[in-house]
Chains A and B, each alone.
Chain A
Amino acid sequence: MPVSAHPRAKTVPPASPSPTDPEERGRRRRSLSPRYLPYLLVLPAVVFELLVHIIPMIAGVYMSTLQLNQFFLRNWLEAPGVGLANYRVAVDLDGAVGDALVRSFLVTLAFALASVVLSWFFGMLGAVLLQRPFRGRGLVRTLFLIPYALPIYAGVITWKFMLERDTGMVNSLLESLGLTDGNTFWLIGDNAFYSIVVVSVWRLWPFAFLALVAGLQSIPDQIYEAASVDGAGQWKQFRHFTMPMLAPVNLVLFLVLFLWTFNDFNVPYILFSQSVPPSADLLSIHIYNNSFITWNFGLGSAMSVLLLLFLLVVTSVYLVVNRRRGAVDA
């Protein structure tokens, strides 16, 4: 986004010395002084950001130092402080809570990486295959976007139906293809991990597709023409021209997809409700269930803060490393 084009003079209406009605002009300028106007304009947005994001976040950090259980929910400010005790419980690998949190963290990491890689791959495949015009291209592109357009719960609940053992489409399909005996449990046990990855990729790959289609459109045709003249085949063109030119898009896309999948709550919540199998126990729903089943909000807040810290570290390292490699400036 071009940020540079902001001549300071812009804040003042062009000092046109129009002699018409100077008094009227002066009055208007005082009542809507350009000095205060931008602050007035952003004020409502700032107020709501504070109310729903910033203040609760600060309150959350504070809550993570309280012994905030069901007895103090109605007047949480009176809950006794316990320092870092909640954090100690959360990361204590010998305790049941810490052990479960670490397992949840590892599951989430594996889930996020698998979802990001597959979503990106499908998105890239679709974008490249649709790069050249052919009949029906517009229709295919629109159809590909449907999973992203559906409300999350409508899409995921359909998958829940499809993954049912006895009445589901997935088992029926696998059996008729001769791949399984059609009696696989997809929503309990270790298979639940594959289920959440597939559902998450189904929902997210259209977003990667959309971003990559836009990225490909911004590559000038001349580059490909020049490459063809030089005798570069399509695979070579892709590797040597397309991929490097897409680097800035990929950089942002990977980060956004990672943050979304790492924070994902909807897929496991809608697929499993309260009884989430350990193999699909993503951090968000792990913290959620811990907080609302035991009503230990202090511990839940401590886990949320740890989650935030991890994401901040990952984001910063990712951005710094990529800036050093020069991808950001490309």
Chain B
Amino acid sequence: MRESASFRVLRVVGLGFLALFTLAPIYVMVVSSLKPLADVQGEFTWIPTTLTLRPFIDIWSTIPLGQYFLNSTIVSLCATAASVVLAIFAAYAVSRYRFRGRGLFRVTVLSTQMFPGILFLLPLYLIFVQIGQMTGFPLQGSRTGLVLTYLTFSMPFAIWMMVGYLESIPRDLDEASHVDGAGPLKTLFLVVLPSAAPGIAAVSIYAFMTAWGETLFASVMTTTDNRTLAIGLREYSTQINVYWNEVMAASIVVSIPVVLGFLLLQRFLVAGRTAGAVK
């Protein structure tokens, strides 16, 4: 197949445009995080006159970023672990068994995914407040409340992805295990899950990213005790001043875990797909 010259020109122009559009904000983020405060408060400059790493030190003292980082980490890790474990169990049932309500379960799980978050937000907020009053265990304003909420945000799609992965694992493996006398759970843990490792990794990173980036529920479910990064980063803007260089530095710092994770996810996705193709 020969490429026409006009296609090659289009490719350079098109990809160049997309790359500029995509990466310009990344460039602004990086370059501004290395400027002193005075330089981000004047007219924007593409090339910084002074380079400094101070914003990366100051971000930790201007606001309690460490605390927010810890909150986000705990909440995201717990929500991810719970979501992935529940998704594995549910997906195993859906992929390996036929049972009454299986179709209904799949449809319900998928459709809750598309409902507007604002619809759950108001009732969930009131229910959490009420549970707190009745039991003395405050869900609103606690990390537990956030974990409960976030695990269900990623779980539907996690189940859907896991079913896909489990379907791609040949049933001969299960059968061999059954013949060896292993029960269903033993088969799941010792035979099926090891083969699904790339899928589990992909699902975990997806669940982590979901929790790490959530803003809507965090804006009403967090107080000073359990504030996550999504809301915490706003505190660099005060009435008098916006510390834009610190905002950019903090944005980079909070992005690193998920961007690294996503790059890993990409590799696992590709690995999973090629493995599926070989079989």
Contact = CB atoms under 8 A, between A and B. Distances in A.
B124 A42 contact: no
Interface string B118-143: 11111110110110010000000000
Interface residues of B, number: 97
Interface string B212-246: 11011001100000000110011000000000100
Interface in B239-263: 244, 247-248, 251-252, 254-255, 258-259, 262-263
Given A32-B184, A51-B148, A269-B216, A60 B123 contact: yes
Interface string A142-179: 11111111111111011101100011110110000000
Interface in A115-147: 122, 125-126, 129-130, 132, 134, 140, 142-147
A38 B216 contact: no
Interface stretch (A80-88, A95-103, A186-194, A301-309): A301-309
B248 A158 contact: yes
A153 B213 contact: yes
Contacts of B266: 142, 145
A49 B116 contact: no
A122 B3 CA distance: 21
Interface residues of A, number: 107
Interface stretch (B50-58, B88-96, B191-199): B88-96
B47 interface: no
A38 B121 CA distance: 31
B114 A53 contact: no
B4 to A, nearest CB: 6
Centre residue among A151, A162, A168, A225 by max chain B CB count within 10 A:
A151
Contacts of A24: 181
Contacts of B34: none
B278 interface: no
B87 A1 contact: no
Interface string A6-26: 101011011010101100110
Interface string B175-212: 10011010111000000000000000000000001001
Given A140-B15, A150-B255, A52 B215 contact: no
A229 to B, nearest CB: 10
A158 B26 CA distance: 8
B14 interface: yes
Interface string B24-41: 111011001000000011
Contacts of B163: 1
B98 A140 contact: no
A32 B92 CA distance: 15
B123 A57 contact: yes
B213 to A, nearest CB: 4
A166 B242 CA distance: 13
Given A74-B133, A153-B213, A297-B122, A45 B86 contact: yes
A151 B254 contact: yes
B60 interface: no
A228 B29 CA distance: 45
Contact of B98 (A11, A154, A159): A11
A180 interface: no
A251 to B, nearest CB: 15
B239 to A, nearest CB: 12
Given A130-B15, A149-B258, A161-B248, A301 B122 contact: yes
Contact of A129 (B11, B99, B259): B11
A199 to B, nearest CB: 9
A22 to B, nearest CB: 11
A38 B19 CA distance: 48
Nearest to B160: A1
A234 B4 contact: yes
Contacts of B219: 269
Interface of B: 1, 3-4, 7, 10-11, 14-15, 18-19, 21-26, 28-29, 32, 40-44, 86-87, 89-90, 92-94, 96-99, 102, 105, 108-109, 112, 114-124, 126-127, 129-130, 133, 148-149, 151-152, 155-156, 159, 163-164, 167, 171, 175, 178-179, 181, 183-185, 209, 212-213, 215-216, 219-220, 229-230, 233-234, 244, 247-248, 251-252, 254-255, 258-259, 262-263, 266
Given A57-B115, A305-B119, 9 more contacts: A52-B149, A59-B126, A149-B209, A150-B255, A151-B255, A153-B251, A154-B233, A166-B43, A225-B1
